[in-house]
């Protein structure tokens, strides 16, 4: 029998779920490429400028990015604070 690699385990009981545990496998081999893609303009490749507004009452951070070369703006994104 093949021994399984130790993987991070997410305890869903702490999140009031009916499931007990879930195994999660995260492939980080392309993470630097994804970060570079996220931070670059899709039209010209220039590094984007990010603007953030935090709403602590609703526990949300709003993010918008702009390309200094093309002057295009990205879709506004909302990130939930935890």
61 CA to centre of own chain: 12
Q: pLDDT digits over 47-71, tens only?
A: 999 999 999 999 999 999 999 999 9
The pTM for the full model equals 0.56
Given this model, what pLDDT does residue 25 score? 65
**Confidence class of residue 8 from pLDDT cuts 50, 70 and 90?**
low
Return the HEC string of 40-63: ECCCCCCECEEEEEEECCCCEEEE
């Amino acid at each position: 029998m093949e021994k399984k690699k130790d993987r991070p385990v997410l305890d869903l009981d702490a999140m009031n779920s009916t499931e007990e545990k879930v195994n999660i496998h995260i492939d980080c081999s392309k993470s630097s490429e994804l970060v570079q893609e996220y931070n670059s303009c899709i039209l010209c490749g220039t590094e984007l400028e990010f603007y953030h507004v935090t709403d602590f009452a609703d526990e949300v951070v709003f993010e918008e990015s702009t390309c200094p070369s093309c002057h295009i703006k990205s879709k506004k994104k909302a990130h939930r604070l935890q």
